[in-house]
C-alpha cells in the first residue's frame, strides 16, 4: 500500500501579499476553486489503492489544514504538528516513524502541498513506475523533465533508462541552481531533471539510511515521536526533542549521500509556484498575455498578472508587471523581479508589521474576524462564529469590548452572568471580566465588536478554558 504524506509547513513569502505567515500559499485557492492543499489531495485519485492521507503541518495552521482536509472528504490518518519548522528531512522522519508503526511495510509518498501538476494521470503513472524500485528498498525521487534552461530549480543527473521512458534510473548526483549557460547545457544533455521534491520509499528503508547518514537527526526525531501527545485530532510532537534536531532537507541529509537513490522522470505539467511569475505562467492568459483575477480593468497592458480581492484595480500602459491587491496591501512589481518580494517581507517582519503575518480577515477554529477600522485607543471588528462554535473563556487586562449582534443568536457569558442576544441587541464587556461568546444556532452568528483601551493587541488574552486546546 502507498500512504501519502503531505508536507504543509511552508510560508510562501514570495507570494505576498496573498500568502502570509499565518495563511500561506498552500491554503489559498491560487489556481482553481480548491486550495493548493486540496488540489494535492485530489491528485491522489490517480494513485490506485492508496491508504489514508497524513499531513505534517505548522502548529499555527492546524485548524485551517484540518478543515480543508475535511472538505475534501479524504480519509485522514493523522495530522502531525511541528512545534517549529526544521526543513523537510525531520518532517519526513517523524512521518516515517509513525507509518512504520501504523502501516508496516507500506510505501510513503511524500508530497509538498504547494505544487501544481496539470496531468494527474501522468503523475499516477510515474508513481506506479517508481513503486517497484521503492518496494525493493530504493529511495525514489521524481525528476521533472525540463522544458527550458530554468535557473530557479536544482537539478538531478540520472543515468540509464529509455529516452522518454518512465523506468527508474540511478541517481548520479544532485546539483544546485545553475547559471543560464550551465542550465542550457543540462537541457541539451538530456540526462538532467528538475528536482521536484517529491519522494517515494519504504518508511523503514528511509529511516535506516537516515540513522546511518544523519544519526543525530534520527535520534531527535525518534524522541519527538515517542514523546508525542494526542490533542483533539492532532499529534503534537515533543517540542524539546524536535527542536533539538538539525534542520536539513531530505536531499542534503539523505538523497545526496545514499548509494540507493533512484529517479523516475515526471512529465506532468509540474510547477512549484514559487513566485508570482510562476503563477502567471500556469494560468490561462488572454490575447494580450494577461492573467486577471477579480474586478480588474486594463488598457494597453500586456504579459501581466493582475489580482484584485477587495476593490477595482485599473492599470494602463504596463508590460510584464505583477499587481496584487488585498484589503490591507498592494504589490506592484516587474515580472522579472518578483523573487525580491521576499526581501519586502523580511523588511515588514523586521519592522514588526502585522501585514507580514496576517490578513485583515483572520481565521480561527471557531470562525473568523475582520478588522474594519482602528486608531489610537479603539478597534472595530466584524466577527463571524460558526454554528455550534464558541470562543474561549477569557479576559483582557487592557481593553473593554462592546458587542452588537448583526445576524443570528449569541449566547454570552460575562463573569457569573449568562445572557442571550439576538439581532440589534448589544452588551458590554468590562476590562478584566471573564467572558465567552457562543453560537448555539444552526446558522452563522455575525456581530460587531468595538474595542476600547490602552492596548489592543491580540496577545492581550488570558484563556482559562478553550475547547480547541489553545493556551
User: pLDDT tens, 364-417?
Assistant: 999 999 999 999 999 999 999 999 999 999 999 999 999 999 999 999 999 999
Q: C-alpha grid cell for residue 68? A: 480543508
Of the candidates 92, 171, 173, 168, which has an alpha carbon nearest to the alpha carbon of residue 133?
168
Give residue for cell 516513524: 97
Let me know if 34 is exposed, middle or buried by CB neighbors in 10 A (0-12, 13-18, 19+).
middle
Other beta carbons less than 10 A from residue 50's beta carbon: 20
pLDDT value at residue 163: 64
**Could you state, in order of their start, the residue ranges of all structural domains in the chain?**
2-271, 276-341, 361-465
3-state SS, residue 110:
strand
pLDDT value at residue 73: 96
CB 146 within 8 A of CB 192: yes
CB 155 within 8 A of CB 193: yes
Of the candidates 104, 52, 49, which has an alpha carbon nearest to the alpha carbon of residue 80?
52
CB 120 within 8 A of CB 46: yes
Give residue for cell 489503492: 49
CATH superfamily assigned to domain 2-271: Spore Coat Polysaccharide Biosynthesis Protein SpsA; Chain A (3.90.550.10)
Rounded distance between C-alpha atoms, residue 338 and residue 16, angstroms? 10
Q: C-alpha grid cell for residue 66? A: 484540518
pLDDT value at residue 162: 65
- Indicate the pTM of the whole model: 0.89
Q: C-alpha grid cell for residue 315? A: 492599470
Residue 68 phi/psi, 5-degree rounding, is: -65, -40
**Radius of gyration from C-alpha coordinates of the chain:** 24
CATH class of 361-465: mainly beta
pLDDT value at residue 196: 96
Which portions of the chain are predicted below pLDDT 50? none
Domain 361-465 in the same topology as domain 2-271 = no
CB 242 within 8 A of CB 222: no
Amino acid at each position: 500500500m502507498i500512504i501519502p504524506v503531505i508536507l504543509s509547513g511552508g510560508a510562501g513569502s514570495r507570494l505576498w501579499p496573498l500568502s502570509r505567515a499565518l495563511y500561506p500559499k498552500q491554503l489559498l485557492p491560487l489556481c482553481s476553486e480548491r486550495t493548493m492543499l486540496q488540489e494535492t489531495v485530489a491528485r491522489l485519485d490517480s494513485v490506485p489503492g492508496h491508504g489514508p492521507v497524513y499531513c505534517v503541518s505548522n502548529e499555527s495552521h492546524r485548524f485551517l489544514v484540518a478543515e480543508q482536509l475535511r472538505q475534501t472528504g479524504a480519509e485522514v490518518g493523522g495530522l502531525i504538528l511541528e512545534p517549529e519548522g526544521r526543513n523537510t528531512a525531520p518532517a519526513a522522519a517523524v512521518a516515517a516513524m509513525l507509518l512504520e508503526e501504523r502501516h508496516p511495510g507500506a510505501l510513503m509518498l511524500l508530497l509538498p502541498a504547494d505544487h501544481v501538476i496539470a496531468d494527474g494521470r501522468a503523475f499516477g503513472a510515474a508513481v506506479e513506475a517508481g513503486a517497484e524500485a521503492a518496494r525493493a528498498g530504493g529511495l525514489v525521487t521524481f525528476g521533472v523533465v525540463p522544458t527550458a534552461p530554468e535557473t530557479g530549480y536544482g537539478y538531478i543527473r540520472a543515468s540509464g533508462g529509455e529516452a522518454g521512458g518512465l523506468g527508474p534510473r540511478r541517481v548520479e548526483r544532485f546539483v544546485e541552481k545553475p547559471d543560464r549557460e550551465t542550465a542550457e547545457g543540462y537541457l541539451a544533455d538530456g540526462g538532467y531533471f528538475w528536482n521536484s521534491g517529491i519522494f517515494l520509499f519504504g518508511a523503514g528503508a528511509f529511516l535506516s539510511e537516515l540513522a546511518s547518514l544523519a544519526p543525530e537527526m534520527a535520534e531527535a526525531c525518534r524522541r519527538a515521536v515517542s514523546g508525542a501527545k494526542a490533542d483533539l485530532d492532532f499529534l503534537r510532537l515533543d517540542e524539546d526533542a524536535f527542536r533539538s534536531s538539525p534542520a536539513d532537507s531530505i536531499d542534503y541529509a539523505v538523497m545526496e549521500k545514499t548509494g540507493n537513490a533512484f529517479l523516475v522522470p515526471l512529465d506532468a505539467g509540474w510547477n512549484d509556484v514559487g513566485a508570482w511569475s510562476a503563477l502567471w505562467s500556469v494560468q490561462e492568459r488572454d490575447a494580450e498575455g494577461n492573467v486577471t483575477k477579480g474586478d480588474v480593468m486594463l488598457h494597453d497592458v500586456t504579459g501581466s498578472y493582475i489580482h484584485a480581492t477587495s476593490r477595482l484595480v485599473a492599470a494602463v500602459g504596463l508590460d510584464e508587471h505583477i499587481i496584487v491587491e488585498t484589503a490591507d496591501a498592494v504589490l506592484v512589481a516587474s515580472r522579472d523581479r518578483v523573487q525580491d518580494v521576499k526581501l519586502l517581507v523580511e523588511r515588514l517582519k523586521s519592522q514588526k508589521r502585522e501585514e507580514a503575518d496576517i490578513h485583515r480577515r483572520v481565521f480561527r477554529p471557531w470562525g473568523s474576524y475582520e478588522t474594519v477600522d482602528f486608531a489610537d485607543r479603539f478597534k472595530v471588528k466584524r466577527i463571524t462564529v460558526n454554528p455550534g462554535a464558541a470562543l474561549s473563556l477569557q479576559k483582557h487586562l487592557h481593553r473593554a469590548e462592546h458587542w452588537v449582534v448583526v445576524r443570528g443568536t449569541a449566547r454570552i457569558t460575562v463573569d457569573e452572568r449568562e445572557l442571550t442576544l439576538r439581532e440589534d441587541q448589544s452588551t458590554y464587556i468590562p476590562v478584566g471580566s471573564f467572558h465567552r461568546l457562543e453560537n448555539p444556532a444552526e446558522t452563522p452568528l455575525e456581530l460587531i465588536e468595538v474595542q476600547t483601551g490602552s492596548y489592543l493587541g491580540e496577545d492581550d488574552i488570558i484563556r482559562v478554558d478553550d475547547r480547541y486546546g489553545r493556551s
